[in-house]
Amino acid sequence: MFYLNYMFSELRRRKGRTLLTALGLAVGVGLVVTVSALSTGLDNAQAKVLAPLTGVGTDMSVTRPISTSSSSQGFRGLSQKERDQLQAENGTSRLGLQNLGKPGTQFTRDSFMATSQLSFPATEVTSISKTANVKSAAGGLTLSSVHVSGTVPQNPPTGGGAGGGFGGAGGGQQGPRSINVTSVSVDGVDQTHPGLGAITSGQISSGRYFSSGTKREAIVNVSYAQRKGLKVGNTMWLGGKKFTIVGLATTPLGGQASDVYIKLTQLQTMSGRVGRVNTVYVRANTAGNVSSVATSIQKGFTGSSVTTAKDLASRVSGSLIDAKNLTSKLGTALEIVALVASILIASLLTLSSVAKRIRELGTLKALGWPQRFVVRQVTGESLLQGLLGGVFGAVIGVVGALVIGALGLTLKATVAQAASVGFGPFGQGAVNSGGSTTLKLTAPISIGLIGLAIALAVAGGLISGAIGGLRAARLRPADALRNLD
């Protein structure tokens, strides 16, 4: 008890030096807290962009893509083998204007066109689900529903496209002006896996997820619903069938975004692709096994392409990533420099204090104090100063984090569109959406971070106390007679 009373009395007697030493440690620790909180905020912002794409980092998507040597040429850029594959996928003359009737008569036609992914048997879903370290797998089917209506022209065009009718892969309507063409991207979702697929129950912003029955239900992309003035409860026609809109969903930036989502079995039946899918959504049992699972799937599924969180993260850019990279490169260095500087300041102040207390400490040794008692006294005082500095530093760090949040700074995240080509005659097929989003910068503070700040300050106090204590231990009792306070 005597030693504690002595420590506190010495700290109170030298209030100015005590506060100065504590503040020196507090500034360094406070900077560590603020930078760490900022780094956490940037991590959270990046996770907010990526999490919807990959289901908390343990999801991946498996497809059989068709690549082109020239993305600007669309369908004409395919090799003959790839043309044959795509024609087999879409069937012959799905959008051709031949055999529609006599010129001048009205007609309508609904077709489902393949995107840049070829379909494959749904049995692959079962095979993939049995792969080591795979927790679950769900099939999906991504197509474009093309509705063609109008008047049969006098001289229907031939050739071009997938089966003739409207050549080229463009972004809008092609062909005679008497023909009206609308194209809607559609995803078939296995509703038995509400947490895994092109759309999940967690992405529903209004309404509900699919029911388990056979009712024709649709979930519509929020942006598409806004363009078309659609709401929950409205009905819409798709492939000549009537669907009730049961929910609106916010699809992830950079993810596989379609206009409309319906039940997988219904899309398979309507499109003539019963028992076939063109995407498998896979969840690994742990995030650490994602890479090995992706490798196993590619080895076991010929021609497959596996997209993981790492692949998607490489497509994210903008001020968010710039800030994240800057924090990663300079944040740690800044924290180290701040801590080292604060400990050096505390050590110098402690050494200065010991130099001014030569008479006091020398007298204590003359009275019989062993060296360890002197070291303990000086180190104990520095430890208390470190504890006080830790409290001050935590306060400084919290204030800095609150200021960052109060400033309302925003960061932009841009996800580049995946390199895919619209293979349909109307440019459909590139369903991996790009775009940008703006996120508010925050700097969250956790109890663990505050505890770390206090621990660092106490460690700094111990280091400075040890340095000062070693200096005090070398004092001789005779020095007390030659020095005055």
As given in the structure block, the two tokens for residue 323 are: 């800030």
What pLDDT sits at residue 43? 72
Query: pLDDT digit string (tens) for 469-484?
Result: 676 666 666 555 555 4
**How buried is 18 (Cβ within 10 angstroms: 0-12 exposed, 13-18 middle, 19+ buried)?**
buried
pLDDT at residue 188, rounded to an integer: 93
62: left (phi over 0), alpha (psi -120 to 50) or beta: beta
Element (H, E) at 429: none
Which run of H or of E encompasses 414? Answer: strand 410-415
Amino acid at 173: Q
Distance between CA atoms of 472 and 461, rounded to whole angstroms? 16
Alpha-carbon distance values, 389 to 63, 198, 383 (Å):
56, 51, 10
Q: How many CB atoms lie within 10 A of CB 17?
A: 17
Quote the distance between the C-alpha of residue 356 and its chain's center. Answer: 56
For 218, residues 6+ apart whose C-beta sits below 8 A from its C-beta are 236, 238, 243, 244, 245, 246, 260, 261, 262
Q: What is the pLDDT of residue 157?
A: 56
Cα–Cα dist 53/311, whole Å: 11
Which DSSP string do the residues of 331-396 spell out, in sequence order?
A: IHHHHHHHHHHHHHHHHHHHHHHHHHTHHHHHHHHHTT--HHHHHHHHHHHHHHHHHHHHHHHHHH
What is residue 246's three-state secondary structure? strand
Q: Which two tokens stand for residue 60?
A: 């991946």
Enter the tokens of residue 26.
């507090």
Predicted confidence at residue 319, as pLDDT, reads 55
**In contact, 254 and 312? CB cutoff 8 Å:** yes
Cα distance between residue 96 and residue 187, in whole Å: 24
**Residue ranges of the chain with per-residue pLDDT less than 70:** 1-4, 6-8, 10-11, 46-58, 67-79, 81-83, 85-86, 88-101, 115-116, 155-178, 251-256, 309-332, 334, 351, 353-367, 411-439, 469, 471-485
CA distance 241 to 144: 15
| pLDDT given for residue 106 in this prediction | 79
Cα–chain center distance at 232: 29
- What are the pLDDT digits (tens) for 183-207? 888 999 999 998 888 888 888 999 9
The reported pLDDT for the residue numbered 128 is 94
| Whole-Å CA distances, 94 to 99, 160, 161, 372, 462 | 11, 12, 10, 93, 79
Three-class SS state of 137: strand
Q: What is residue 315's three-state secondary structure? A: coil
Dig out the tokens for 288 from the structure.
Answer: 């650490």
pLDDT value, residue 296: 93
